[in-house]
Structure 1
Amino acid sequence: MQYYIGIDLGTSSVKSLLMREDGEIIDTAQEGYDIIKPDQQYAQQDMNLLCRAAERTIQAILKKHPGTRDNIRGVGYSGQMHGLVMIDKDGNLIRDAIIWADQRSGEEIRDIYSVIPEEEYKKVVLNSLSTGFLISSLMWVKKHEPEVYAKIFKVMLPKDYLRYKMCGELGTDMSDASSAVIFDTKNRQWAWEFIDRLGLEREFFVPCHEAYEIAGEVTAGCEKNTGLWEGTKLVYGGGDSLMQGIGNGIISPGTLSANIGTSSQLSCALPEPLYDSRYRTNTFCHVREDRWMLMGANLSGGVALKWLMRNVLDMQSYDEMTALAEKVPAGSRDLLFLPYLSGERTPYNDPDAKGIYLGLTLKHARAEMIRSTMEGIIFGLRNSLEIFQDMGIEFQRIFASGGGARGHLFRQIQADMFGKEIYTSVGKEQACVGAAITAAVGTGGYASYEEACGCVVRLSEDVVIPDAENQKIYEERYAVYKELYPRNKDLFGCRNHCEGL
């Protein structure tokens, strides 16, 4: 019997999963860490700390299941997207990674568009530039940290650094490369002309490969740190949103993935690089040559609940929060939450956007705040669903994954807001499963993603059906929700104007 390991290098934790070739999950291990915020707009992480955490999760699994070690055929990766990792010529990190949640590079985006007109840029990359993307962060480093920029040998995405530490080979996959947004997404290669026009060195950018291709082999040093045998094959892997989809069996059109992790995303697989004409969504390369992904991204997903739990309510667990929220009717007794705690991407792409609780009164308590926060997160995904439908995207089912799949209440809210049945796959950690499936495809365990997903992914019998009365309530509340941002947009950026008052 063969085994595969899938590693998901997330924003708040790293998870590793050991999967038997027939899809049986043998074990998982997880280790958490934090975002470094030296300034309110900054979001950084020490990639060496994250890599050591990843190594310990692999080590923990193999220590519990030593009999599987000889039969691990491959390792795959899922990772937080967009972030900038920089190394010097000796392979050492130059500074902390600037990750997707970072908001510092708004001026650099304007600088990029002053060199390359915005419409010209978007037609090649198929995306709007946002803060926290590799290219905008790299331009910030070039302008504000020239001593760091001068040391750069290569730039890469977070999971690529972990893989490099494990095999010693540099590279990235098409999904993460396209999420750097200095990429010719239709033709699946770096946007070399744009790189030249921005005055960046071509040599900074590592080779690009498909997610399932072999990236290298476990080194002797990695064997010592993880317990994996030297020579074990490693595949390139992909961005976490895509791996979540693969872990739910989504490789072909017709199914949407609604994922709630630290951030939240609505996404689907497409046979061609479709994109929103207003660039409110993202179009990235998928896990193989004939697939692309359409995604609507919201920066505050589960992190909004984490913030509420730790910073406001001083509660101890999500289960405790959900138990309270279940006692509140749909609509949270007219309390409405705009979840823009870290700015927003879809549909407004505004790093200055802020969160709002609208309708607070003396009758509201913790339970209403919790449920309205959950509802606000799903309303954000509803924005993306409307855009997908306007683009003519057809789908038969929606899969919930991440934290949004684990509790019935979250899934019921999705069913009621989307007006669709909500499906889940058996088990948890779909991003890890997607990474393990990719390792299986890349190392020959399966001939294709379709074959692998057909054998590995199993649907749960617990399908959540929309409640007609709740749907009516959410339709009314959604109309108000959509007014919150445009009516308050001018106030969100008033800090600089108000500091002198």
Structure 2
Amino acid sequence: MLYIGIDLGTSAVKLLLMDETGRIHNVVSREYPLFFPHPGWSEQNPEDWFEQTLAGLEELVSGADRDKVAGISFGGQMHGLVILDENDAVIRPAILWNDGRTVKETDYLNQEIGRDRLSEYTANIAFAGFTAPKLLWVRDNEPENFARIRRIMLPKDYLCYRLSGTFATDLSDASGMLLLDVKNRRWSKEMLEICGVTEDQLPQLFESYEKVGTLKPELAKRLGLPEAVVIAAGAGDNAAAAVGTGTVGDGRCNISLGTSGTIFISSRQFRVDSNNALHSFDHADGTYHLMGCMLSAASCNKWWMDDILATKDYAGEQADITKLGENHVFFLPYLMGERSPWNDPMARATFTGITMDTTRADLTQAVLEGVCFATRDMYEIARSLGVHVDRTKICGGGAKSPLWRRMIANILNIKVDVPACEEGPGMGGAMLAMVADGVYATVEDAANAIVKVRETEEPDPELVAKYEERYRQFRTLYPALKPVFQEIAK
């Protein structure tokens, strides 16, 4: 049988067709626009997601035996706010995960409601990208829109609703809304009251691998697919990517170098970082995970290559980087502010340490290393909780760079396993559909059967020692510059 994974990203939707052995039959990608109506704002039109997904599905199955398609599921960009009225019309453009407009609302939640209460209700504190602050922003700035809200959903759940007609979300994605009681896997009544919404405005909660419905008959006819195609709830992009890299079970780690960067550690035990610098979320396998998220990761390199150096020769620019652990230039990768561990939307990217002998390669190296150092910041918090990780999987566009993988291995001093097939959230979504269809009994069974490792990057003790000193220096930069960031943001 065949299964479809839909990865709803920030710049494109990527669709994958895979059989139950893990063999990929086709991959299709469709782009859509991203809008920045004001500095620090980030929006998209949900209808663009749906139109491009349908077009992508038609292309994906065009050469396949369509009668064998048995399931569809999702991985999707997290935290975005999609609101529909009583006629199921989208009320306003979706406010995305990397939107920074909710500074006032985030401060209100953290300072007036209080971090301790938020952590008690949801296991997390407010971050500017989370969904609850966005709801408060709409309530305070667009009251006429807030009054029209009938359904509140996350980006991938809009696709699920359009494809199946079921108003649903999964627990991993819902964990990032600041509306979910993560420990008890239910909506937080206290948070709903704080945000002025009711439970009937929110989707029904499912585990990621559960069936929520089947494909709408009219869409099945249009696509030439069986009406019995199972639709599974899916997962937030990081949880779906973790499934696709086999990061399920206890104590396994995945690092994603995508538009944003994450470190994701699966756990059967519910844990909360006392400073809430890491997110404590439900996992797509029915357990829990800790996750740190930096807002700009591979997007830092894309910005540097495309916008500043005006080149697409990413590999060529990295070829001149030979002196690892010896760079005198540092880069703070806070192009969109920062979430983990600083929770500071006013943080900004900087180059520090430039001298007359600084080269183009030095600056490129600093960008790559800055992302790795920021990943190390998140890793250190997990270690402080007693989490022991000695190896990690790696995924995302940045993971295709052997140099970047080597930096990660040596800056974090852990083994880095490269999956044989790196298709991230789309692959995880297809695997979740398999579990929903009964091909595998559990998500862990699916991961053990399908996910293989192609190669492993081992840390070099000499290079680890050099990077340890560089990391110590990197750690001093943000605290020193924080007052400057606050001043220039006025």
Q: Normalising by the residue count of structure 2, what TM-score does the alignment of the two structures yield?
A: 0.97
Aligned to 1:342: 336
Q: How does 1:39-78 map to 2 (within 5 A)?
A: 39-63=38-62, 65-67=63-65, 69-78=66-75
Shift of the alpha carbon at 1:209? 0.8
Residue 211 (structure 2) pairs with residue 214 (structure 1): yes
Contact 1:254 1:396 in 2 (8 A): no
State the AA in 2 paired with 1:438.
L
Partner of 2:227: 230
Structure-1 residue corresponding to 2:307: 311
What secondary structure, in the 3-state scheme, does the structure 2 residue paired with 1:215 have? strand
SS at match of 1:66: coil
Q: Which moved more, 1:130-139 or 1:451-460?
A: 451-460
In structure 2, distance between residues paired with 1:262 and 1:439: 25
Unaligned residue ranges in structure 1 (runs of 5+):
none
Partner of 1:37: 36
Give the equivalent residue in structure 1 for 2:290.
294
SS, match of residue 234 in structure 1: strand
Q: Give the drift of 1:253.
A: 1.5
Decide which of 473, 482, 485 is 2:478's aligned counterpart: 485
1:488–1:225 distance in 2 versus 1, CA, 3 Å? farther
Q: Percent identity, aligned pairs only? A: 33
Distance 2:355 2:258 in 1: 30
Q: Which residue of 2 aligns with 1:413?
A: 407
Quote the residue 1:272 is aligned against: 269
Distance 1:488 1:274, change over 3 A: same
By how many angstroms is 1:496 displaced? 5.3
AA matched with 1:238: A
After superposition, give the CA deviation of every residue in 1:80-118 in whole Å (9 maximum; x if it has no partner). 111111111111111110011011111112333466333
- Give me the whole-angstrom Cα distance separating, in 1, the residues matched to 2:486 and 2:174: 31
Quick check: 1:331–1:372 contact (8 Å CA) kept in 2? no
* Contact 2:70-2:228 within 8 A present in 1 as well: no
Report what 1:330 is aligned to. Answer: 324
Q: How many Å separate the matches in 1 of 2:295 and 2:224?
A: 36
What is the SS of the residue equivalent to 1:272? coil
**Residues in 2 aligned to 1:144 and 1:284: alpha-carbon distance in whole angstroms:** 29
Q: How far apart, in 1, do the equivalents of 2:363 and 2:110 lie?
A: 40
Decide whether aligned partners of structure 1 residues 334 and 225 sit closer, same or farther in structure 2, where only a CA change above 3 A counts: farther
Deviations 1:271-303 (A, max 9, x none): 1220111111001111244x0110011111111
- TM superposition shift of 1:249: 1.1
Of 156, 161, 176, the residue aligned with 2:158 is 161
Counterpart for residue 12 of structure 1: 11
The answer as to whether partners of 2:282 and 2:289 remain within 8 angstroms in 1 is yes
Q: 2 CA distance for matches of 1:117 and 1:420?
A: 36
Q: Is residue 468 of structure 2 the alignment partner of residue 475 of structure 1?
A: yes
Cα distance in 2, alignment partners of residues 227 and 275 from structure 1? 46
What amino acid is the match of 2:283? Answer: H
CA distance in 2, matches of 1:200, 1:127: 19
Cα distance in 2 for residues equivalent to 1:225 and 1:397: 45
Runs of 5+ consecutive residues of structure 2 not aligned to the other structure: none
Q: SS where residue 262 of structure 1 aligns?
A: coil
Compute the displacement of 1:346 (Å).
Answer: 1.1
Residue 117 of structure 1 aligns to a residue whose secondary structure is helix
SS at 1:267 equivalent: strand
Distance in 2 between residues matched to 1:363 and 1:113, nearest whole Å: 45
Q: Could you say if the C-alpha distance between residues 73 and 343 of structure 1 is closer, same or farther in structure 2, counting changes exceeding 3 Å?
A: same
Equivalent position SS for 2:212 = strand
* Cα-to-partner distance string for 1:345-386 (whole Å, 9 max, x where unaligned): 111100000111011123223222222111111111101111
Query: Which residue type is aligned with residue 207 of structure 1?
Result: Q
Q: How does 1:88-127 map to 2 (within 5 A)?
A: 88-113=85-110, 116-127=113-124
Partner Cα distance (1:38, 1:420) in 2? 41
Q: Distance in 2 between matches of 1:33 and 1:334?
A: 39
Determine if contact 1:56/1:226 at 8 Å carries over to the other structure: no
> 1:28: which partner in 2?
27
| Residue in structure 2 matched with residue 384 of structure 1 by the alignment | 378
- Contact 2:149/2:201, CA 8 A, preserved across alignment: yes
Figure out how many residues of one structure are paired with residues of the other and give that number: 490
Structure 2 residue identity aligned to 1:426? A
Q: Tell me whether 375-384 or 314-323 shows the greater mean CA deviation.
A: 314-323
State the alpha-carbon separation in 2 of the partners of residues 386 and 113 from structure 1.
23
1:19 counterpart SS class: strand
467-476 or 349-358, larger mean C-alpha shift:
467-476
Residue 453 of structure 2: SS of its match in structure 1? coil
Which residue pairs with 2:367 in the alignment? Answer: 373
Determine if the alignment matches structure 1 residue 402 to structure 2 residue 400. Answer: no
Q: Is the 8 A contact 1:109 1:131 kept in 2?
A: yes
Secondary structure at the residue paired with 1:222? helix
Structure 1 residues 255 and 118: alpha-carbon distance in aligned structure 2, compared to 1, 3 A threshold: closer
Alpha-carbon distance in 2 for matches of 1:217, 1:133: 29
Secondary structure (helix, strand or coil) at the match of 2:18 reads strand
What's the offset of the Cα at 1:42? Answer: 0.3
The Cα offsets for residues 199-247 of structure 1, whole Å up to 9 and x where unpaired, read as 3233321111111111111113323554433331100000111111111
| Alpha-carbon shift at residue 416 of structure 1 (Å) | 0.8
Name the CA distance, whole Å, in 2 between partners of 1:489 and 1:77: 38
Q: Give 2:442's match in structure 1, choosing from 427, 448, 453.
A: 448
- Whole-angstrom CA distance in 2 between matches of 1:113 and 1:378: 28
